[in-house]
């Protein structure tokens, strides 16, 4: 019996080519069979179809057709962010060019924990992480699995630099910050009330005035629920006045940096000590593509770590780059490759155009909601999130409408509780969406709302 072929090496591409044809056919078949943004029938029906398609997961003898059957089943049962009616979360449709580059990452399989596993990939990572940090007014950045890991690292750096810091954040801040305080054994965070979803400088100032000890303020540029941007320059001033360290979570809003039209809204970003960016949101990357940027590269020294087999002192002295301090992970995928390929192939203007498109779609959708007597708009959108609800419907009805659409696989909308009421959330991240799609989305919601 011959052994299965490998993906890398001079013969790798030859082995991959027919398999890729099969994968692409299976993706196409699966998407056509689904015929909408989400598989119909709800969790039980989807799981049953998947079980039927996959069968025995570890058969005694292999099934040569597995790549076709399993990929097809996954595609058929996927929530497809490339469908304009799939708009619940900060879950973007990945760019084809980024997915293609990611294939090369899998085939080459560099691991970023030592130079001898990733000679060029580590050099690419150094280049791109610095360039992206500078784009945001910082000095350097680390690659992470996303905003959650970036926020955790930001709290860890603050703890190592300042001691047992207390986190102070607005009520609209991402849940991962509070979770990170729990993980890192930090004091209970101070959550500043934010009735309109924004952390206002006055309220922050009042909260900081009563506090002593080392403080880390976390502001948000693009809240998950509503896409709101905190007043960053004013918050930075308040932090400076109180001697507090500043973290800005720009997991969502950071992508505005690419747009000439919208980047001015991120003024103040450069004043952050640490900054969360997440290119699997407004960067159209396949998961994962997070970054933690730092203004002072010296802050990263606290992550230095030795393991003889990866970065022995004599190896480092002899000139082998030490990569272990660039992450808390050890084995690590070259997520930088798809990012580098995307940045270079689209350029700032290409990415900026995508950002401009989704922001314009949000304005269009908000306009449709405002003009429709059966709907209520939460507020004009800041980035690409639109919160709306059937006018006068109780919260239970709003929740049920969302679940009906999910169950039928016709539309994927999110939900957010703001101002004491439940709202439907459309997070528009698909640059290919057309005005007719947005009208169709609103019609679907109207048709699913009981009167």
Ligand X SMILES: *Cc1c(COP(=O)(O)O)cnc(C)c1O
* Residues in touch with ligand X (CB under 6 A): 90, 146-148, 151, 174, 176, 220, 222, 224, 249, 251-252, 278, 290
Closest approach of Cβ 144 to ligand X, in Å? 8
Q: Alpha-carbon distance 21 to 250, whole Å?
A: 38
Question: Are 202 and 211 in contact, with CB atoms under 8 Å apart?
Answer: no
Find the shortest distance in angstroms from Cβ 63 to ligand X. 34
State in angstroms the smallest separation of the CB of 90 from ligand X. 5
The rounded distance, in Å, linking the Cα atoms of 289 and 337 is: 10
Q: Which is nearer to ligand X, 227 or 390 (CB)?
A: 227
C-alpha to C-alpha distance for 115 and 127, rounded to whole angstroms: 15
Taking each helix axis as running N to C, give the angle between helix 201-209 and helix 232-242, from 0 to 180 degrees, rounded to the nearest 10.
Answer: 20
Nearest distance in Å: CB 391, ligand X:
28
Distance (Å, whole) CA 292 – CA 278: 9
Of 219 and 406, which has the nearer Cβ to ligand X? Answer: 219
Nearer to ligand X, 90 or 442 (CB): 90
**How far apart (Å, rounded) are the C-alpha atoms in residues 413 and 424?**
7
Q: CA 274 from chain center: how many Å?
A: 17
Least Å distance between CB 182 and ligand X? Answer: 16
Closer Cβ to ligand X, 76 or 149, answer by number = 149
CB of 278 to ligand X, least distance (A): 5
Beta bridge partners of 248: 219, 275
Starting at the edge strand found earlier in the chain, the sheet holding 166-170 runs 140-144, 290-294, 274-278, 245-250, 215-220, 166-170, 190-192
Comparing CB distances to ligand X, the nearer of 30 and 147 is 147
| 77/147 with CB nearer ligand X | 147
Report the distance separating Cα 416 and Cα 350, nearest Å.
Answer: 31
């Amino acid at each position: 019996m011959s052994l299965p072929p490998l993906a890398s090496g001079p013969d790798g591409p030859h082995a991959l080519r027919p398999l890729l044809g099969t994968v692409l056919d299976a993706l196409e078949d699966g998407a056509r069979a689904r015929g909408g943004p989400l598989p119909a029938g709800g969790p039980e029906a989807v799981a049953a179809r998947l079980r039927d398609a996959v069968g025995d997961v570890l058969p005694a003898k292999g099934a040569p057709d597995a790549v076709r059957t399993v990929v097809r089943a996954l595609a058929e049962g996927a929530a497809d962010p490339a469908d304009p009616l799939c708009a619940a979360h900060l879950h973007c449709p990945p760019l084809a060019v980024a997915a293609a580059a990611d294939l090369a990452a899998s085939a080459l399989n560099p691991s970023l924990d030592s130079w001898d596993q990733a000679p060029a990939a580590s050099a690419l990572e150094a280049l791109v992480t610095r360039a992206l940090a500078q784009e945001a007014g910082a000095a350097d950045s680390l690659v992470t699995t996303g905003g959650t890991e970036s926020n955790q690292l930001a709290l860890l750096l603050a703890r190592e630099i300042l001691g047992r810091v207390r986190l102070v954040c607005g009520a609209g801040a991402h849940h991962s910050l509070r979770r990170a305080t729990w993980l890192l054994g930090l004091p209970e965070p101070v959550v500043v009330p934010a009735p309109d979803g924004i952390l206002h400088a006055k309220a922050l100032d009042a909260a900081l005035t009563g506090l002593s000890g080392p403080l880390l303020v976390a502001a948000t540029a693009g809240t998950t629920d509503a896409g709101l941007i905190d007043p960053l320059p004013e918050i930075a001033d308040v932090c400076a006045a109180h001697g507090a360290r500043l973290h800005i979570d720009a997991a969502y809003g950071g992508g505005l940096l690419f747009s000439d039209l919208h980047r001015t809204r991120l003024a103040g970003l450069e004043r952050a000590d640490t900054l969360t960016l997440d290119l699997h949101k407004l960067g159209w990357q396949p998961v994962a593509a997070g970054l933690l940027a730092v203004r002072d590269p010296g802050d990263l020294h606290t992550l230095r770590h030795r393991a003889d087999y990866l970065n022995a002192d004599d190896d480092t002295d002899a000139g082998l780059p030490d990569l272990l301090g660039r992450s808390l992970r050890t084995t690590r995928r070259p997520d930088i490759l798809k990012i580098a390929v995307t940045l270079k192939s689209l350029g700032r203007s290409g990415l900026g155009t995508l950002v401009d498109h989704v922001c314009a779609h949000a304005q269009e959708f908000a306009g449709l909601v405002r003009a429709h007597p059966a709907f209520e708009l939460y507020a004009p959108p800041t980035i690409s999130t639109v919160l709306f609800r059937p006018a006068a419907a109780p919260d239970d009805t709003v929740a049920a409408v969302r679940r009906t659409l999910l169950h039928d696989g016709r539309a994927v909308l999110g939900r957010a509780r703001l101002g004491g009421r439940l709202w439907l959330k459309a997070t528009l991240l698909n640059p290919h969406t057309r005005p007719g799609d947005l009208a169709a989305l609103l019609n679907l919601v109207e048709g699913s709302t009981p009167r």
